[in-house]
Structure 1
Amino acid sequence: MRQGHANLRVNDKVEVIAGKDKGRVGKILRIENANNRLIVERINLIKKHQKATEATQSGQIIEREAGLHISNVMLVCPECSETVRVGKKLLEDGTKVRMCKKCKATIESAK
């Protein structure tokens, strides 16, 4: 059974509302619907110790983003710049769009 989370999309600006990075804002890089996690740019950084793969390449410590659970982030509205809940609205032409619950502005997906 696929869970998914249609309220958040790649390139959306989100704020972390729980955990060690609480209060930090970043852009969504990747969404993993299978386990309800997402990768946010420069948030929840971990150090990965990488072994040398060839004789010429030395081992190194790589800093990269780890996954966050979807429930630990909230969308930042581009209009009112606040963390908001997301609603759905049906336009006159029949398309369904996301809308900010605070300022009622439509949230366009940044491509």
Structure 2
Amino acid sequence: MKRLHVRRGDTVYVNAGSYRGTKGKVLQVFPEKERAIVEGVNMVAKHTKPSAQNPQGGIIRKEAPIHVSNLMLLDPETGKPTRIGRRRNEAGKLVRYSKKSNKEIK
């Protein structure tokens, strides 16, 4: 399984597709499929049958997964899209850092 550059809770920039230029928060990540669900991005219409939770049924708009290659992490300092790298910090723990500002990402 490949290690991804995005994690749940990260703020990302969409750099390709019909939602290009959109910023959003990562809600869920699927490492085995290399996809992520981003808040407000790749909205699809899902038709639902009436159920106990939704007695009316109808059409629900929800986010669909988007490939992680179309996402860039936002730099915590400048707020602009950046590539990330991995390095060991003083405690010897592997951490992500922004290649644009050279700052550690949470």
Please report the TM-score for the alignment, with normalisation by the length of structure 1.
0.88
Residues 79-98 of structure 1: matches in 2 within 5 Å?
Answer: 79-98=77-96
Residue aligning to 1:57: 55
Any stretches of 5+ residues in structure 1 without a counterpart?
none
Residue 4 of structure 1: CA displacement? 3.7
Residue 3 of structure 1: CA displacement? 2.7
- Note closer, same or farther for the CA distance 1:95–1:4 as it changes in structure 2 (3 Å cut): closer
Amino acid of the residue matched to residue 2 of structure 2? Q
- Structure 1 contact 37–69 (Cα < 8 Å) conserved: yes
Q: Measure, in 2, the Cα distance between the counterparts of 1:39 and 1:24.
A: 13
Residue aligning to 1:66: 64
Q: Measure, in 2, the Cα distance between the counterparts of 1:80 and 1:26.
A: 16
CA offsets per residue over residues 60-88 of structure 1, 9 Å max, x none?
11010001001011000111211000011
Deviates more, 1:87-96 or 1:67-76: 87-96
Amino acid of the residue matched to residue 27 of structure 2? L
Residue aligning to 1:3: 2
Percentage of identical aligned residues: 37
Residue 8 of structure 1: CA displacement? 1.1
Q: 1:24 aligns with which of 15, 22, 25?
A: 22
Residue aligning to 1:107: 105
SS in structure 2 of the partner of residue 71 of structure 1: helix
Q: Measure, in 1, the Cα distance between the counterparts of 2:45 and 2:3.
A: 28
Residue 58 of structure 1: CA displacement? 2.2
Q: Measure, in 2, the Cα distance between the counterparts of 1:53 and 1:106.
A: 46
Q: Measure, in 2, the Cα distance between the counterparts of 1:66 and 1:57.
A: 24
Any stretches of 5+ residues in structure 2 without a counterpart?
none
CA offsets per residue over residues 77-110 of structure 1, 9 Å max, x none?
11121100001121122111111101101110xx
Please report the TM-score for the alignment, with normalisation by the length of structure 2.
0.92
